[in-house]
Amino acid sequence: MNVFIVGFIENTLLAALAATGFGVSFNVPVRLLGVCAAGGAVARGLRFLIADVWEVAPIEWATFIAAATVSTLGVFVGRKLRMHPKAFTVAAMIPMIPGVPIFTALLSLARMQRSGVTPELLAAAINSGLSACFIVAALAVGLALPGMLFYRRRSLI
């Protein structure tokens, strides 16, 4: 099998499992855990396709597109199920938290404290830290975007 197909299946299945687990920890009703799993799988799979397979956008923009897509779909699913969309879309976003960039930034900072500042460690800390910050910001804005568009009581202008 192609490496991308295996990576896509692995990303979607593990994201669905993680989203379901976070749905349980957030006390999402049992009937919506499948929606959490589907949202996590779609979000992580879409981000994987955009950033890694098609390579049309960096990971930060791919995260924003995936978060906004799943959050927008959550609005329509939430209306159909008569539930607030954040009840299941927040759990679906958790698998896209940038654990590796955060760990790399913190590890670089710890190494700088122990052995001194080098240009390589400083660059690794700054690059990984900024990437993690931008990914988290993309998650937040992508999750909030449909609420800003669909639930406004007054016009945008």
CB atoms under 10 Å from CB of 50, counted, come to 21
Least Cα distance to 44 among 79, 20, 78 occurs for 20
Matching residue, tokens 């990437």: 131
Q: Alpha carbon of 140 to those of 10, 97, 131, 154: distances in Å?
A: 25, 11, 14, 22
C-beta separation of 6 from 58 below 8 A? no
Taking the CA atoms of the chain, what radius of gyration do you get in angstroms? 18
The predicted-structure confidence for 104-150, as pLDDT tens digits, reads as follows 999 999 999 999 999 999 999 999 999 999 999 999 999 999 888 87
Q: What is the pLDDT of residue 156?
A: 57
Q: What is the pLDDT of residues 54-71, one digit of tens each?
A: 999 999 999 999 999 999
Q: What share of the chain is helix, strand, coil (3-state, %, to 5)?
A: 85, 0, 15
Q: What is the mean pLDDT of the segment spanning 24-35?
A: 95
**Residues 75, 97: Cα–Cα separation, whole Å:** 21
Q: What confidence score (pLDDT) does residue 28 get?
A: 94
Q: Are 94 and 18 in contact (CB under 8 A)?
A: yes
- pLDDT over 90 at 96, yes or no: yes
Which pLDDT value is given to residue 147? 83
pLDDT of amino acid 151? 75
pLDDT confidence bin for 44, thresholds 50/70/90: very high
